[in-house]
Amino acid sequence: MAEIAHLALRLPDQVWPRQFSRAKACANTAMKISDLLSPSEVLVDVPASNKQLLLEELASKAANSLGLGIDRVAPYLLKREALGSTSIGGGAAIPHALLPDVQRPFGLMARLKQPIQFDAIDDQAVDLVFLLLLPAKTDNTQLSALALVSRTMRLNGVIDRLRRAHTLPGSIR
C-alpha cells in the first residue's frame, strides 16, 4: 500500500456522531476517515491544469467507483463549487456535493502533481483535495462527514504529513 494511502486512512480519529456505517446502519458510533475512504480512493501525483478539469476528473473517478455515470456526479460537484470555493486554506480543498444517487458518504483523496489555483480565501494554490460526495437525503450524515474531513484536515501537521508521504512501488494512482 502506498504510504500516503496508509497515512490517509489512519488520520487522527475524530469523534463525530454518525447515522451510517460502511458495513451496516449503526447509530451512536464514531465516524472515521476510513468510513469515507478506501485505499483505492487515494490518488497520488494527479495531473491537473485547473480547478474545473480537476473536478471533472475526480468526478469521473468517483462516478466509476460508485457505478454511476459521470453525468450523475460532475454537474452537482461543479454547481456546488460555483457557489464558492471549497478550499479550506493552506493548500487544501474539500469539494463536496449532495447527490440523489449516493446512499452513503463517499470520499476520494488526491495529492496533485503540481498545485493549482482554486480561488482559495488565502490565495494559496491547492495540492491536496478531499472530494466528498454525500447523500441528498436530509439527516446529520452530511454535516458529520463534512465536519470530520474539515476538522481532520485542519489538525496541526496533517496536511504537511500528507504532502511529505512517499509512494512505494505499486502505489495507488
pLDDT bin (cut points 50, 70, 90) of residue 28 is very low
Residue 5 above 70 pLDDT? no
Residue 108 DSSP symbol: E
Of 31, 34, 4, residue with least CA distance to 20: 31
Query: Per the structure block, which three cell numbers stand in for 128?
Result: 491536496
Please name the fold of domain 3-164.
Mannitol-specific EII; Chain A (3.40.930)
Which of 18, 32, 61, 96 does the annotation list as catalytic? 96
d(CA 98, CA 134): 5
| Domain extent listing, the chain | 3-164
Q: Does 166 participate in catalysis according to the annotation?
A: no
The model's pTM is 0.80
Of 109, 121, 131, 116, residue with least CA distance to 55: 131
Residues 111-151: pLDDT tens digits? 999 999 999 999 999 999 999 999 998 777 788 899 999 99
